[in-house]
Amino acid sequence: MFYGTDLSSRLMLGTAQYPSPQVLSQAIAASGAEVITVSLRREGREGGAFRDILKAAGRRILPNTAGCHSVKEAVTTAHMARELFGTPWIKLEVIGHADTLQPDPFALLEAARILCGEGFEVFPYTTEDLVLGERLIEAGCRVLMPWGAPIGSGQGLRNIEGLRSMRAHFPGIPLVIDAGIGAPSQAALAMEMGYDAVLLNTAVARALDPAAMARAFADAVAAGRAAHRAGLMPRRDMAAASTPVFGMADLA
């Protein structure tokens, strides 16, 4: 549940980099995603035609502040997005490093405080830092979106132990892996670890068949969640025979 909204799909899909509007529409439909993210910069560049695609998709819009590098820029973009899309939801990105596109933790926290205080329902793009996570929750965020790896890198979950610790540290907070997912197996792993959802874009948009890849990710997310709920077997340091020795024939 995200800010009181229940969703049946745990896959969230981005809308950038697709080769054509038709392919984007096909990928959204194939993914089963109920939430799609939209950059205000793209909306401004492509205007009404892109807005028509979003309307036809019938999904919930999660606007984002992609490309913002300062508090002022992110807050201004969020206000514009709320006015344009009519939603208090905002995926908050404040980039602090040009090469890795890592969030600026200080600017992110400041922007989150401002936006939460103004009634926004903030989805902060953050790292797996536990202290930063606590501060974002204190600021009013009720969701955290830690990165798996740098945006668009396809590296998957680079810090698995850190992400496991985050899941354990925030048991009652919805956590969404955002950025760096490049393969369905990586999305399944995130869900097996107990994360609530996965948000991705490039892995689908740049696939040879985006609709087929979107469907593969939907299946992987569902399988990972089912495995988590069923209870994964613990890892062992030694082998454990599945067939008991007792009762075996003595052929010596």
Instruction: List the catalytic residues.
Output: 91
Annotated binding residue 179 = yes
Is 201 known to sit in a ligand binding site?
yes
Determine whether the annotation assigns residue 180 to a binding site.
yes
Instruction: Please tell me whether 152 is known to bind a ligand.
Output: yes
Confirm or deny that 162 is annotated as ligand binding.
Answer: no
CB 94 within 8 A of CB 111: yes
Q: What are the binding residues?
A: 152, 179-180, 201-202
Q: What are the binding residues for 1-deoxy-D-xylulose 5-phosphate?
A: 152, 179-180, 201-202
